Structure formats: structure tokens, C-alpha cells
Structure 1
Amino acid sequence: MNEYLKVFDQYYKQTGIEQRDFIHANGYWHEVFHCWIIERTDSEWRIYLQLRSKNKKDYPNQFDITAAGHILASETVEDGVRELEEEVGINVRFSQLISLGVIPYSIDNEKIKDYEFANVFIYELRGGIEQFTLQREELDGIYSVDLNQFILLATSKIKKIEVSGYKYINEKRHYETKQIGLEQMSTLPESYLLEFIPRMKQKLIEAT
């Protein structure tokens, strides 16, 4: 099924509507919804990363934003909240999300020309990792990491971080703790992370 997305110029002004595959093939700007789920445990914050399915066409078996997806031509940014329920089984209202604004970024290589205006949000979870129900067509697992460690990795201060969670192996959950680096997060270019990190830190400061 072909998805149709709004097309924008570099100033975020809509210029038309095109098929998703055509947009990615030609490097047209379009809208996406990003929601990072965080959770306070004792005195620390943790941030959740999804593990993309090994069967995905783009970036298989890579760690990514907790829940994300394209905003269809028929949708508004508010409709993007559906991604949380669809991908990770977390049912929330749009008003419960904390907006970090729009972060434009691009990934341009031999496989894809992805020029996105990311509408970025955070959501504070309560209850731990067992609150998640994964969309198995899209995700193979869900993990969390100490937020300070994630920030150090994202800003290239350290090379590896320890993530804890589970992935599905033969449709059974396999719980584990392991080390990953930025090479396992190729969906997130440095330009995006360097915008996302200070915006998130500011919102957490304001919330305390």
C-alpha cells in the first residue's frame, strides 16, 4: 500500500503531496513524529530505545527512538501519537507529551535520501519495561539506558553504553544487558542528536 505524505520546502512550507517511496528516492522534505520515552528510577533518569526488526527494509536490527513514524498527508502532528500505541503499546493522549519542537535533519546515502522535519516529544513512563507491548512487525526488542550515559554517547564523550531490556528470539523474550555504540544507532545522525540532547535536558530541568 502506497502512503502519501506532505512535501515541504526547506523552510517547512508545504508544496504538495507525494508517495512515500518517491519522496525518499528524490530527497523531498516531509514530516515525521518522534517520541522518546523516559522514566525516573530512584535518583536517575533512563531513556528507552526500540530495537528495529531484523526484517525492516531500512536500518534493520538498529537501535532507534522509542516510537516514531511518518505523518501521513491526511494527518496532523497530533495524530502522530498513534505511533506510541501501535509500536510499543503505550496509550497516551497528545496533551500528555512534552514538545521539544521541530528538528530538521537529513540522511543522504546510496540507499536513501531522507529529509525530515521531526516533530519531537518526550513522555514520562511509570511502571517499567513491562508496560510495553511491541508491534512485532516493526520491533524486535525494547531496551533502556541511563540517560547521562546516553548523552555522553550522543555527544561522542564515550564510545559504548550499557543497555538493558529484551529482544524476541523465536517469539520468546530474551532478557539481556549488553554494550552498544553509535554504530548500532545509524538511524540517528549526529546533527539530530546534538539538537535533541540540549532541548531534552532543558525540559527536564524545567520539570524539576
Structure 2
Amino acid sequence: MDTEILNIFDENRKQIGVASREEVHQKGHWHETFHCWFVSRKNDQDYIYFQYRSKDKKDYPGLLDITAAGHLMSHESVMDGMREVEEELGIQVDFADLVPLGIIEYIAEKENFIDKELAHVFLYHSDHTLDEFRPQLEEVTGIYRIALADFYELWFEGREHIEAEGFQVENDERITSAITVGKEDFVPHEDYYYRRVLHSIREMEREHAD
């Protein structure tokens, strides 16, 4: 696999050079990513979609995460981030149908890993059924949707468990299921990030319903 080269930035979001993905996470350089959240509205209920990360992933294996996301290479534009949607989910989406939330600074740290992202975050109102998703199994082995109100209660109001409905692919077989999840089952994004995303989803779905 070719070394992935990313643009790196200072604290003022000014580009200061390029670095390999490995170096970016070792030294904690700011770099650009693309985040796309699928949302839907059904029976007056808003839903948010999560990918289930492959258990073979190096980082955060077997956890629920942003519907589709990835790094932007040094030669790519933000629009090029759309490849993540098609590659990870097997869904074709028009960039013009995305709702931009702007750039959200996002930091996550663990041992020997510092992730400082300038995340270009988008929402997409999806009318796709779960059957239409064709995840890239090396990266994503399932898709789940969760009622927005339930997820908010889990993350911010002390609720311990909520239900997620969707599917996983095991041994080339798609298995539909409802699972019970807690905070420990999600990639640990910071609270301010989720607050901004969830508030924007509520606004978007309200406008979509009008």
C-alpha cells in the first residue's frame, strides 16, 4: 500500500507542509478529514446512522462510528471525500445534496496516537433502505440506525443503554438484528462535536419535514 500523504496545518489552520499519515498521528499534526452523517425521518422520528467498524481495523475495531469518514489526501479537495461514502457504504450520493456544517476541530488521543482533525462535516438526508447499503467489509461490516432522541439521552443525559437496528455481515451472510448498546460501543468523539452534529440534524430534519 502506498504511503498516504496528508496536508498539515498550524493552530490557525494555515498549511505548513505535508506528512505521512503515520507521522501525522505520531506527532499530532492538524490535518483534514471528511465526515458524512446519514440521517432520516420516519414516523415523526429522526434517526442517525452509524457504521460498525470491522474488527480487523487497527484503530477502534468493532465500534460504532460516523456513517462514512476518512482522511483527505494532500492532492484531494473536500469534494473528493465523497469517495468514502461510495467505498465504505456502497451508496452513491451527489455532493450537492449534502448539508455542510463547516469545519469542526476534533481531537482524540490514546497511547502513541494523537488525532487532531480539521473535520469537514456534512449531513445527508437518506431515503435509502438498510438493504441498499453494501459496506466495504475490510472497513465496515455493518450499518445501524438509532433514534436521535435516544442517542442524545445516552450521550448527554445519563441513559445507560439504547437500541440500534440494522445489520452485520458475517461469513458473507447479512444478518439483520436489533442490538443494545452503551457509550462504550461507540468511537469516543468529544461532547461538543456530538452536540453540534445532533443540533444540526434536528434543524435539518425539521426543515425537511416542512
Tell me the TM-score normalised to structure 2 length. Answer: 0.93
CA distance 1:169–1:4, shift in 2 (3 Å) = same
Amino acid at match of 2:35: H
| C-alpha deviation, 1:173, in angstroms | 1.3
2:21 matched to which residue of 1?
A: 20
2:191 corresponding residue in structure 1: 190
Question: Compared with structure 1, are the counterparts of its residues 104 and 126 closer, same or farther at alpha carbon in structure 2 (3 Å cutoff)?
Answer: same
1:61 aligns with 2:57: no
Listed as ranges, the matches of 1:8-47 within 5 Å are 8-47=9-48
- Secondary structure of the 1:130 match is helix
Partners in 2 of 1:71 and 1:87 — Cα distance?
Answer: 15
Per the alignment, residue 161 of structure 1 pairs with 162
| Conserved? CA contact 2:107–2:117, under 8 Å | yes
- SS of the residue corresponding to residue 38 of structure 1 reads strand
* Cα shift at 1:193: 1.3
- Cross-structure match for 2:105: 104
Inter-CA distance 35–170: structure 2 relative to 1 (3 Å threshold): same
Q: Contact 2:26–2:113 at 8 Å: present in 1 too?
A: yes
For 1:168-183, what aligned pairs fall within 5 Å after superposition?
Answer: 168-183=169-184
Conservation of the 8 A alpha-carbon contact between 2:31 and 2:116: yes
Paired letter, 1:158: R
Unaligned 5+ runs, structure 2: none
Closer, same or farther: CA 67–204 of 1 in aligned 2, 3 Å: same
| 1:38-70: CA deviation from partner (whole Å, max 9, x where unpaired) | 112222121111000000000000000110000
* SS of 1:126 mapped into structure 2: coil
In the other structure, the counterpart of 2:49 is 48
The ranges of structure 1 where at least 4 consecutive aligned residues each deviate by more than 4 angstroms after the TM superposition are: none
- Which residue in 1 is equivalent to 2:147? 146
User: 2: distance between equivalents of 1:157 and 1:96?
Assistant: 34
Listed one character per residue, the Cα deviations across residues 14-33 of structure 1 (whole Å, up to 9, x for unaligned) are 11111000000110000110
Offset of residue 189 of structure 1: 2.5
Q: Quote the Cα distance in structure 2 between the aligned partners of 1:119 and 1:146.
A: 24
Aligned residues: 208
| Equivalent residue number for residue 92 of structure 2 | 91
C-alpha deviation, 1:202, in angstroms = 2.9
1:119 equivalent to 2:149? Answer no
Q: CA RMSD in A?
A: 1.4
1:94 Cα deviation after fit:
0.9
Measured in 2, the distance between the counterparts of 1:74 and 1:156 equals 42
Given that residues 105 and 191 in structure 1 are in contact (C-alpha distance below 8 angstroms), is that contact kept between their aligned partners in structure 2?
Answer: no
AA in 1 matched with 2:140: L
Paired amino acid for 1:192: Y
Q: Whole-Å Cα distance in 1 between the matches of residues 85 and 188 of structure 2?
A: 18
Over 3 Å counting, the alpha-carbon distance change for 1:3 and 1:125 in structure 2 is same
Contact 2:41 2:205 in 1 (8 A): no
- Give the Cα separation in 2 of the matches to 1:102 and 1:139: 25
Measured after TM superposition, the shift of residue 128 of structure 1 is 1.4
Contact 1:103 1:196 in 2 (8 A): no
Are 2:161 and 2:182, in contact at CA under 8 Å, matched by a contact in 1? yes
What's the TM-score once normalised by structure 1's chain length? 0.94
